[in-house]
Structure 1
Amino acid sequence: MRVVSLFSGIGGFELGLSRAGHETVLMCENDDLARSVLHHRFPGITVRKDVRSLKQLPTCDILTAGWPCQDLSQAGRTAGLNGSSSGLISEVFRVIEASKHKPDYVLLENVAFSLHLHGGAALKYVTANLERLGYRWAYRILDSRQFGVPQRRRRVFILGSRKALPQTILFRGASAVGKINEPSVEMFGFYWTEGNTGLGWSPGAVPPLKGGSSLSIPSPPAIWDKRSRSFLTPGISDAERMQGFPSGWTAVGVLKNKRKRGRWKLIGNAVSVPVVEWIGRGFLGNEEIKYEAPVSTTFTKSANAAYGEKGKPHLYFCFGHEGSDAPDIGSLENFQLNDATELSGRAASGFLSRIEKSTLKTHPSFIPDLRNYVS
């Protein structure tokens, strides 16, 4: 299948879909550094700069867009679709409507918090426009960790389809709770930049990688190894692999051997490759699946999946599983940290002073080990 990608970032959609057997024919990305990565990693493919200048789509089967999340993120501005960044989703629908040949599938991705921000207004806007353009739709929250990478990254994937039932692709494995084998946990991820009201505590994984703080400063997570009582921060190549990219994926062009801040931002804003690959394989078959009964015919905060089409009631589900039917749980214990460094004493000391004053819950040995590390 031929793919057009809008808001391409560093190519998470494209790499995942190529691994599933699909071909990207056009990309669009506004960030200069991200675009330089795309030129190096996907030579010969046209990369347009501004989606607003795209008049229509070339003939394609799949349109993807991980549209900007700054206005939808819980850690961001929470301006919703009225924000200057996240409001760009309207360009996706504009270009579909303007195209003579509409893609069979539209695959979108954003932060899970968009389901709840302003009563789920963003999701309602997206699904209403998909219906208007003749698409059935389904969405489901998927966690990258349940696709083999040691990163707890919950994202909502929205799939519009003109042919197949989209829930037969996204809901695969939704009832596979009994098949999950959670690995033993000896390593814990957290954000050392937090500690007052949150810390992203993640047993066995790092919390969601992010491009930086509100001051645009790179903010890699930290890892506590309970066995050695050590505190580490993963390096950039580690972070790339935590998103499912090959090591060194962003070390190209002007980013090679320098500009770590830019590389962290690109990696933190990327789409996890193995999740997209799994979805991409679903386009190749229309297997019969089983899933739980819907929890409601109206939007509910407890629902993490839904499907619908124009003229029919929307059905909302609360699945206990956010991965595939054969989950490969990512684990820090089984992940080789290639360029990790020790958490600096200054960073550890500042974090300790904040978390000791908070009521946040961690492992009983965590704060004692942190005190010992600082001293």
Structure 2
Amino acid sequence: LLENVPNMLWLKQGNAMDVITGALSIAGYKWAYRMLDAQHFGVAQRRKRVFILASLHHDPARVLFRDLESPTRATRPISKARAEANGFYWTEGNRGVGWGAGVVPTIKGSTTAGIPSSPAVWIPGAEPDLRFRTPSIESLEMLQGFRAGWTKAAPTRDRWKLVGNAVAVPVVRWIAEGLRAYDTLSPVALDPRLSRSAGWDWAGVSVGSGRATGKIPAHLSVGSLPKRHSLARLLQTRGSHPLSPGAARGFSGRLGRSRLSYDQDFMKDLVDYSRA
């Protein structure tokens, strides 16, 4: 089982995927891959990752695509509007925001400068001085599916890296449950959204000496999964810190100068908060 960021599908025209799957096929492995998003597995974090599963003796598609055979519950569409709590990258603002209604954007081990940096959260219904928060390390652990305090034995700086570079637990648990139940799973027919192609898409399987790929969204039904945790409630119970007025000021300035679209109330709250 391999995991990596979605960009690996298109990096250098998919060269990384060509190398990995080519080596697997030469070694006699069947393989399948799928992009999965942690926010559909019960955690309030948008985290898309590509999972490649390979086997010498079994069909990996039975595990990664088992929900397509007998879906039991479709996950609710994620609104792009505002929610009770809305995540964003306060270190961005020039080319993107990382906006997430009810979720934080992908937790990172560090910024490009190598500095640990948590996403920020806008809580529009809170008191003015409490509207912009950053999750505590314990909250971030739970946003990855760990227990609060899971990385407590490590130095603080290392805890950020451990959490930001981890794999979301509920996603891997779902894959592991499929592996454990493999003998009870039905064979999967080739999904009509997958077709023989020279390129790479959101999901795919090995077919003989070639492959079939296609757009199977990460928000399809994946069985009886837990309801997504409330981001606002998580911050209340596991802790958060105030975003500094200086950080809010810098972000609002970058965002205001950009050509990005944004919620006007969000910007107003940012400006008011930065002046407090």
Go from structure 1 to structure 2 and tell me whether the alpha carbon gap of 1:169 and 1:339 turns closer, same or farther (over 3 Å shift). same
SS at match of 1:372: helix
More helix by share: 2
The CA distance in 1 between the partners of 2:189 and 2:36, in whole Å, is 17
Q: Which residue of structure 2 aligns with residue 121 of structure 1?
A: 15
1:327 positional shift: 4.0
Residue 75 of structure 2 contacts residue 219 of structure 2 at CA under 8 Å; is this kept in 1? no
Query: Residues 173-212 of structure 1 correspond to what in structure 2 (within 5 A)?
Result: 173-174=67-68, 176=71, 179-182=74-77, 185-212=83-110
Instruction: State yes or no: 1:294 paired with 2:193.
Output: yes
Go from structure 1 to structure 2 and tell me whether the alpha carbon gap of 1:126 and 1:368 turns closer, same or farther (over 3 Å shift). same
SS at match of 1:212: coil
Where do 5+ consecutive residues of structure 2 fail to align? none
RMSD over aligned CA atoms reads: 2.2
Q: Which residue of structure 2 aligns with residue 354 of structure 1?
A: 254
Aligned pair partner of 1:316 in 198, 209, 213: 213
The CA distance in 2 between the partners of 1:333 and 1:183, in whole Å, is 16
The share of aligned pairs that are identical, in percent, is 40
1:333 positional shift: 4.0
Q: Which residue of structure 1 aligns with residue 176 of structure 2?
A: 280
Query: Residues 253-264 of structure 1 correspond to what in structure 2 (within 5 A)?
Result: 255=154, 259-264=155-160
Instruction: State yes or no: 1:244 paired with 2:161.
Output: no
Q: Which residue of structure 2 aligns with residue 155 of structure 1?
A: 49
Under a length normalisation based on structure 1, what TM-score does the superposition of the two structures give? 0.65
1:325 positional shift: 2.8
Where do 5+ consecutive residues of structure 1 fail to align? 1-106
1:290 positional shift: 6.5
SS at match of 2:103: coil
Instruction: State yes or no: 1:235 paired with 2:136.
Output: yes
Q: Which has the higher contact order (CA 8 A, sep 6+)?
A: 2
1:321 positional shift: 3.5
Residue 174 of structure 1 contacts residue 325 of structure 1 at CA under 8 Å; is this kept in 2? no
Aligned residue pair count = 262
Letter paired with 2:14: G
Under a length normalisation based on structure 2, what TM-score does the superposition of the two structures give? 0.87
Aligned pair partner of 2:28 in 121, 129, 134: 134
1:124 positional shift: 1.3
Q: Which residue of structure 2 aligns with residue 364 of structure 1?
A: 264
Instruction: State yes or no: 1:219 paired with 2:117.
Output: yes
Letter paired with 1:125: V
